[in-house]
Amino acid sequence: MAVTHGPAGVGQARHRMRDQLRTGGVSEAVIDDAVLILSELLSNACKHGRPLGDALAGDGDVRCAWRVDTGGRLTVEVTDGGGPTRPSPATPSVTAHGGRGLNIITALADDWGVRDDTRGEVTVWVVVHEDVHDPDAARRREDFATRVTAPTVSAGPRLGYADAYEDLD
């Protein structure tokens, strides 16, 4: 599916994916994970990647695809025109407004990676679940919060409440 390189395309793709996976008999919990993953991938493609072809940033399309193969494995892919950086999980500060998308994908997915082609296009692929027909596929993962790693806080000197007012006499 070709979608607009921008926020409008994300919503269109999410709705279409949800409808198609429901029609295919995929459980709601797996669909929820897949839709969140698709949203993150498309948002990253629009923020960090160029549109496909020769269009200027903000114009043109990116491509997304999803499929359940004969073994029941659900895979989602998003292809853009490439960008200045490679997709990799970040370690955002606690107050950062973004930078957690690939960490969320890593926590939800069974596997993911990046594929380049000779035209400069970059595809990020995600195996959402190895077998959507598995009875456990519909179960929410209890350890989700532990798999989304929080940034480390540097070990600094421990100051007490009174220490903050030490120089005020």
pLDDT value, residue 91? 64
Confidence check: pLDDT of 150 > 60: no
Q: Is the dihedral of CA 1, 23, 102, 93 positive or negative?
A: positive
pLDDT tens readout for residues 17-37: 999 999 998 988 899 999 999
Q: Would you say the pTM of this structure is higher than 0.85? A: no
In this structure, how many other beta carbons lie within 10 angstroms of the beta carbon of residue 31? 21
The tokens of 62 are what?
Answer: 């990116």
φ/ψ of 163, rounded to 5, equals -60, -30
Question: Where does the chain have alpha helices with state H?
Answer: 7-23, 28-48, 101-108, 144-147
Coil vs helix vs strand at 43: helix
Beta-bridge partners for 79? 63, 123
- Mean pLDDT, residues 107-124 taken together: 88
CA-to-CA separations, 86 to 32, 65, 80, 121, 123, in angstroms, rounded: 26, 20, 12, 12, 11
Give the confidence band of 118 by pLDDT, cuts at 50, 70, 90.
confident
